[in-house]
Amino acid sequence: SELASCNELARRHGVTKGMYVGQAKQLCPELQVVPYDLEAADRASQELFAIMLLITPRLLPASCDEAYLQLVDAQVDCAKHLARVVEATILHRTNVSVTVGIGDNMFQAKFLRPQPIEAMHGVGASLSQLLREHGVISN
């Protein structure tokens, strides 16, 4: 079967969503595969968005577990603090650990942090292997 999602720790080992479980366990032997409950995932997604809407109504959902918030000027000055508040609130209310990125645009907010090459849109296992063979690394 294929992985529907993976956390940051698994990604650091080269695991990506859509990867076969056997292949993922070769990269990350300590990987724990958890069955998912679609109804619970939907409830958690709704809770994530509800928490983000407390910060600003300018919310652009990107998927069931990802969204972009546009802050007003007054909020930009405390963006790092707001990010930590969002992370802590989501963890407290849903028991889900999240990562919040900050940037002048959506690309910066998502990608300006250490992460595997596979995390970039359009870079799958084959291309990432080819890039590594040519000495291209991302973290």
- Structure confidence at residue 46 as a pLDDT band (50, 70, 90): very high
Domains of the chain: 38-102 (3.30.70.270)
Flag the least confident range among 6-10, 54-58, 66-70, 121-125.
Answer: 121-125
Residue 126 near residue 137, CB atoms below 8 Å: no
CA distances from 34 to 37, 47, 77, 119, 138 (A): 10, 21, 39, 21, 28
CA distance 78 to 112: 18
Q: Token digits for 63?
A: 């998927």
27-31, 33-37, 120-124, range with greatest mean pLDDT: 27-31
Q: Which residue has the tokens 């870079």?
A: 123
pLDDT at 95: 85
pTM over 0.75: no
CA distance 58 to 56: 5
Q: How much is the average pLDDT of 31-55?
A: 89
Q: How much is the average pLDDT of 66-75?
A: 83
State yes or no: pLDDT of 2 exceeds 80.
yes
For residue 68, what are the β-bridge partners? 60
Across the chain, what does the average pLDDT equal? Answer: 86
Residue from 37, 27, 52 nearest 4 by CA: 37
